[in-house]
Amino acid sequence: MHADLARRAAELLDASAPAAGAVRGALDGIRFLRGVELAALPGREPAIVIGRLHGAGAQAAGPPLQCLVLPSALTVVPPGCAMAALAVQVDIDLKVAAELALMLPAGRPGAGPGEGGAGPTALDDETGDALLRLLKALRSPTDTRVLGPGIVRELLYRVLAGPQGWAVHAALGQHRHVGRIGKALRRIHADYHRPVDVPTLASEAGMSVTAFHAHFKALTLTTPMQYLKSTRLAHARLLMARDGVSAACASRLVGYESCSQFSREFKRFFGRSPAREAAALRTTLARAAPPDRPIVIEPGTVEQC
């Protein structure tokens, strides 16, 4: 993406997200993000996220603008782009996406998740130009009403035709299975600290183990057990960063029986030890806040270990 185009888009993103958190845009389905973990994105639709994305310990102002498609709001986000330092979230209208997909030439829709496609990709000039025009339109009520929907459609087309297109196709292909898999995901999020097994999840979803495993992976880009593991590790990370609990205590609270196993899997997933990652998350959240409105992380109340 051309440097001047990226600079102007970043300036408009910065002006549109004045405070940490998620801010609704002037159009339905658009939110501006500052210092938001992508695993906790608002909304339940598949989404396009464009902006500065990085791991928890990276500098907020460092990464270039990137594009990431999440086929489901519950898709596991790679640790390397877990945080939206400054970005826009555009929910994908599956009806519009299906119409656009039919207009595109038949062929391979970009790399799949097993070929390096699960992470963000660099923003190209065409998509960046559509983004810039959308950000400009959203600053005027009239332009938002008249031009906004058309630019959102163009942006979706650019993403669908680009290297993240496979993820939009994944969202379309898995839409009919969202309800059943969603039931299993809700069970995992409610009972992540208890023993959970695939046969039980499949039975509750009304599917065979084989079908459940296949559709679960297509929707979330990971296996049921890997999803459970990432959910446990994400909760442990927040317990340590926000509530100040030790790694040993956090591991027990999220369902691990072995603290050493927890530490190994945590480092493999986040790329650093539990203590270093918790400290990095505190620093990242503090950086994401505007200078005049700092974030203060205060200890909460957690179960005593």
Q: Each residue of 30-46: pLDDT tens digit?
A: 999 998 888 777 555 78
In contact, 117 and 164? CB cutoff 8 Å: yes
Q: List residues bridging with 21 in a β-sheet.
A: 34
> Which spans in the chain are helix H?
3-16, 94-103, 125-137, 141-146, 148-160, 165-174, 178-191, 198-205, 209-220, 224-243, 247-253, 259-270, 274-288
pLDDT at residue 13 in the model: 92
Distance in angstroms (rounded) separating the CA atoms of residues 263 and 57: 18
CA 231, distance to chain mean position in Å, is 13
Burial 22-48 (b: 16+ CB within 10 A, else e): bbebebeebbbbbbbbbbebeeebbbb
- For the record, the structure tokens of 86 come out as 């400054």
Write the pLDDT tens digit of every residue in 237-246. 989 988 889 9
CA distance 199 to 105: 40
Q: What is the pLDDT of residue 57?
A: 44
Look at the pTM and tell me if it is higher than 0.85. Answer: no
Contact 34, 287 (CB under 8 A): no
| pLDDT for position 70 | 85
pLDDT of residue 294: 44
**How far is the C-alpha of 18 from the C-alpha of 273, rounded, in Å?**
32
Euclidean distance between CA atoms 212 and 183, whole angstroms? 11
Q: pLDDT tens digits, residue range 118-143?
A: 678 888 999 999 999 999 999 999 99
pLDDT tens, position by position, 212-269: 998 888 777 789 999 899 999 999 998 998 888 999 999 999 999 999 999 999 999 9
Q: What integer is the mean pLDDT of 285-305?
A: 50
- pLDDT over 70 percentage in the chain: 79
The reported pLDDT for the residue numbered 258 is 93
